[in-house]
Amino acid sequence: MSNENNKTLIEVQDLKVHFYLKASGFFNRKRQAVKAVDGVTFDVRENETFGLVGESGCGKSTTGRGILQLIRPTAGSVRFENIELTKLGKEAIRCMRPKMQMIFQDSYDSLNPRHPIGRIISDPLVIHGIARRGSAELKERVSELMNMVCLNPGYVNRFPHEFSGGQRQRIGVARALALNPKFIVCDESISALDVSIQAQIVNLLQELQEQFGLSYLFIAHDLNMVRFISNRVAVMYIGKIMEMADRQTLFKSPLHPYTKSLISAAPTPNPKFERNRQRIILSGEVPSATNPPKGCVFNTRCPIAFERCSQEIPEYREVAPQHFVACHAV
């Protein structure tokens, strides 16, 4: 697939997405902020799959939406082919949308149940003025798209509920592909599917990537799948990136204690290996993003935390070429 020489497609610099809670009380006007994404920096290259992993609530989906400007970031910059997206107005963003699309987790909630799938797949083309509704050209494009994702074009007038979960996810993929995007955010796109169907969708995504030179931001919590599909991977924890590297480095020689424990906690289908492996089992649970720990956000669960960790936020720095870590102990 891709290599290091590929051009940068998306550059995310110190991206912050904060949500503000309602102020409690009349005199207490200071609003509490949920720092869902708090300063993440990475780039996605052309024809690359960039994996983003982390536990629920760590801000990985918000990062994806922040990049697409579905949620306007609080601070930081997102450059798509050197165009600064955060500075663009609503109309200008709309003109950028064809190049960046999204495939959602829940194909049931993300497809309009009242529309036949032909309408769902053709909507982006009509909205962006590429084809008129009802035109022969549009019909042709829809069947082409359906063929691409291995759906029978004869089903064009059926409704989402008539399809299985895997097929519905294919509809979501076809819709995302309609405008020939360069970049697709896959937000837990396979998490809700059965194992055998997951493999079908992953294979489809990889084939399409080769065919059209797509870039993916692949957001997931299944480490084995992320390891398989990604070129580079970033690990998030409470709104911050803990570690980022190419997949071989990240999985073979992780440096951050959180990455290490995540990898050791992810089971593999290998009984002999599983029985003998030493798991690093983290105590406690993910703290809330409303009130994140002082210093390093991971210090409350970290097996090797020392005094400095609870006082000073570790710098996110490049410890080896293309290997970034935020930890005092590294």
Partner 1 sequence: MEPLLTVKDLSVSFNTTDGTVYAVNNISFDLYPGETLALVGESGCGKSVTTMSLLGLIPKISGNNMSGTAVFNDGVSKKDLLKMSEEGIRKVRGGQIGFVFQDPLNSLNPVMTIGQQIAEPLMEHLKIDKNEAERRTIELLERVHIPDAADRIRIYPHELSGGMRQRVMIAIAISCSPKILIADEPTTALDVTIQAQIVDLIENLSKELNLSVIWITHDLSVVAGLADRVLVMYAGTGIEIAQVDELYDYPSHPYTRGLLGALPNPDMESSKRLISIPGSPPDIYTAPYSCVFASRCKFAFDLCHKELPKLVELGNNHQAACFIAEQLRSEYV
> Does the protein bind partner 1 through residue 271 (CB under 8 A)?
yes
- Those residues whose C-beta lies under 8 Å from the C-beta of residue 111, and which sit 6 or more positions away, are 117, 120, 160, 168, 171, 172
Footprint of partner 1 on residues 150-179 (CB under 8 A)? 164, 166-167
Q: Decide whether 41 or 200 has the Cβ nearer to partner 1.
A: 200
- Those residues whose C-beta lies under 8 Å from the C-beta of residue 8, and which sit 6 or more positions away, are 43, 44, 45, 46
Choice from 269, 291, 315, 321 touching partner 1 (CB under 8 A): 269
Kindly state the number of chain residues that form the binding site for partner 1, as judged by CB under 8 A: 48
Choice from 211, 272, 291, 315 touching partner 1 (CB under 8 A): 272
CB of 61: closest distance to partner 1 in angstroms? 14
What is the phi/psi pair of residue 261, to 5°? -70, -35
Task: Strands of the chain (E only): list them.
Answer: 8-20, 33-45, 49-53, 75-80, 83-84, 100-103, 183-187, 215-220, 232-237, 240-246, 316-320, 323-326
> Does the protein bind partner 1 through residue 247 (CB under 8 A)?
yes
> Does the protein bind partner 1 through residue 197 (CB under 8 A)?
yes
CB of 153: closest distance to partner 1 in angstroms? 18
> Does the protein bind partner 1 through residue 4 (CB under 8 A)?
no
> Does the protein bind partner 1 through residue 251 (CB under 8 A)?
yes
CB of 97: closest distance to partner 1 in angstroms? 28
For residues 52 and 43, what is the distance between their CA atoms, to the nearest angstrom? 12
Footprint of partner 1 on residues 214-233 (CB under 8 A)? 221, 223-225, 227-231
> Does the protein bind partner 1 through residue 138 (CB under 8 A)?
no
> Does the protein bind partner 1 through residue 99 (CB under 8 A)?
no
190 exposure class (CB count in 10 Å sphere: 0-12, 13-18, 19+):
buried
Binding site for partner 1 (CB under 8 A): 1, 49, 55-56, 164, 166-167, 194-200, 202-203, 206, 221, 223-225, 227-231, 247, 251, 261-262, 264-275, 277, 279, 281-282, 285-286
